[in-house]
Amino acid sequence: MPAISKSAASIPASAIRMLTPFADKAKADGVKIYHLNIGAPDIKSPVSAVKALKEFSFDHLPYSNSAGTLELRKALVEKYYRKVGINIGLDDILVTTAGSESLSFIFHAAFDPGDEVIAMEPYYCNYNTLAKMNGVKVVAVHTDIRSGFALPPAEEIEKHITPRTKGIIVCNPSNPTGMIYGKAEMLAIAQICRRHDLFLISDEAYREFCYTEEPYFSALHLEGMDENVILVDSASKRYNLCGSRIGCLVSRNKDLMELITKFAQARLCPPVLGQAVVLGAIDADDAYFAAVKEEYIARRNYTVKALNAIPGVFTPEPKGAFYTVAELPVENATAFCKWLLTDFRLEGETVMITPVEPFYSTPGEGRNQVRVAYVLEVPELKKAMRILEKALETYNK
């Protein structure tokens, strides 16, 4: 029997999806599960996106340009990015198969095998997966739940820089913590990148979901960083089109974009039907986003209050996205999350949440933490929080 790849065997399983077989088994047994484990909101997509899909007509489905359709790229440049104060040209943007492909392209084009990228932990666990797939090592700088996962001082970050460090990656607002880096934090990170000649990879998939009074500050608003900044973006969360699998990569670094174009050409093109739907979604009006934001704030406020009311549970208030990380009164959150699906039932129902330990690189960190995605309506969240409270009470007996 031929040997499989040793490097592929070292790739970690998805922290977000690894418990899915247990959930599937519970559902097959007739158990209702409240899914707070994954960023798949029940919010409706914009009417303009649904209209674009219904009106999409074809007698065959050809490839698009490898960089994405001209119509979509122009709409993103002129209707979306310009609206949020980001001025870019058509050559600065490339449509990808979701934000994940953007990250994979970046780790291919900006890094060599053995290079390192710095991330503040806990970080989106797929950064580790995609980096490892390309021979890149994620080096973690620890942040603390009791400080709301605040950005560490520059000197602490710089301790982790080595001759193999090529970049710093941030998710802003953060998955999994909901932390937001404002203008001051982004300027501090930019100064580190300038001093050490590093790329700044900014994952801004949750840009629309900021719950502070401070205006959102993108990495592409930084001055003098044209060669350093690489923006990763996605339609999945912004327009509630997770299944469209459309994202984009934006950078004013011409040499980098030229290299990334080669990878885009090798995979031919991003999904054409998904691009058409996102093109329609861009026409969503401000009222759509205002209503969605208001709904998420209500969900966040309820979830944080409910979690902190459970004995032994602590969570800080997230400032953006639709996740919060909570400490639970358990020794092993992974075992508890599995037990919820395999053993615990309250009136034929249970809840699914995500263990956070795989979102850390430091061994042992996050062992008693979970990520809760407040992606359901408040009445459903109330049922889920009741189940979680009863489950913790039972588990600790």
| Same domain assignment for residues 325 and 339 | yes
| Same domain assignment for residues 11 and 90 | no
pLDDT at 238 over 90: yes
Tell me the average pLDDT across 234-263.
Answer: 96
pLDDT at 13 over 80: no
| Same domain assignment for residues 91 and 36 | no
CATH number of the domain enclosing 71: 3.40.640.10
Alpha-carbon span 338 to 394, nearest angstrom: 14
Per the document, the length of the chain is 397
Domain boundary among 281, 309, 342: 281
Please tell me whether the peptide bond between 12 and the residue prior to it is cis, using omega within 30 degrees of 0. no
Alpha-carbon span 7 to 165, nearest angstrom: 21
Q: How many CA atoms lie within 13 A of 243 on its CB side?
A: 7
Identify the residue whose tokens are 């970690």. 12
Predicted structure pTM score: 0.95
* Percent of the chain at pLDDT exceeding 90: 94
Alpha-carbon span 133 to 131, nearest angstrom: 5
295 confidence band (pLDDT: 50, 70, 90): very high
| Residue 194, token pair as written in the block | 């300038």
Number of domains comprising the chain = 2
Tell me the average pLDDT across 259-286.
Answer: 96
Q: Angle, to 10 degrees, between the axis of helix 20-28 and the axis of helix 333-342?
A: 20
pLDDT at 14 over 80: no
| Residue 122, token pair as written in the block | 């806990």
| Same domain assignment for residues 259 and 325 | no
Q: Is-contact 374 296, C-beta < 8 A? A: yes
pLDDT score for 346: 98
| Same domain assignment for residues 219 and 305 | no
Domain membership of residue 109 (yes or no) is: yes
Q: Is-contact 36 380, C-beta < 8 A? A: no
Domain membership of residue 1 (yes or no) is: no
Tell me the average pLDDT across 91-100.
Answer: 97
pLDDT, tens digit, 9 for 90 and up, residues 241-252: 999 999 999 999
Mean pLDDT of the chain: 96
Q: Angle, to 10 degrees, between the axis of helix 125-133 and the axis of helix 98-109?
A: 50
Q: In the sheet that 165-171 helps form, which strands lie side by side, from edge to edge? A: 93-96, 247-250, 229-234, 199-203, 165-171, 116-121, 137-142
pLDDT score for 372: 98
Q: Is-contact 200 193, C-beta < 8 A? A: yes
Alpha-carbon span 372 to 324, nearest angstrom: 5
| Same domain assignment for residues 334 and 363 | yes
Alpha-carbon span 267 to 256, nearest angstrom: 17
| Same domain assignment for residues 17 and 166 | no
Q: How many CA atoms lie within 13 A of 105 on its CB side?
A: 30
Domain boundary among 228, 258, 281: 281
Domain boundary among 235, 258, 281: 281
pLDDT at 350 over 90: yes
12 confidence band (pLDDT: 50, 70, 90): confident
CATH number of the domain enclosing 329: 3.90.1150.10
Domain membership of residue 353 (yes or no) is: yes
Helix (H) or strand (E) holding 129: helix 125-133
Helix (H) or strand (E) holding 335: helix 333-342
pLDDT score for 2: 86
Domain membership of residue 293 (yes or no) is: yes
Q: DSSP secondary structure string, 131-191?
A: HHHTTPEEEEEE--GGGTSPPPPHHHHHTT--TTEEEEEEESS-TTT-----HHHHHHHHH
Domain membership of residue 206 (yes or no) is: yes
78 confidence band (pLDDT: 50, 70, 90): very high
Alpha-carbon span 122 to 124, nearest angstrom: 7
202 confidence band (pLDDT: 50, 70, 90): very high
Tell me the average pLDDT across 32-53.
Answer: 95
Residue 173: phi and psi, rounded to 5, are -60, 160
Structural domain for 370, as ranges: 6-44+287-395
| Same domain assignment for residues 314 and 357 | yes
Alpha-carbon span 117 to 200, nearest angstrom: 10
* Percent of the chain at pLDDT exceeding 70: 100
Tell me the average pLDDT across 108-117.
Answer: 97
| Same domain assignment for residues 244 and 315 | no
Instruction: Report which residue type is found at 33.
Output: I
pLDDT, tens digit, 9 for 90 and up, residues 114-157: 999 999 999 999 999 999 999 999 999 999 999 999 999 999 99
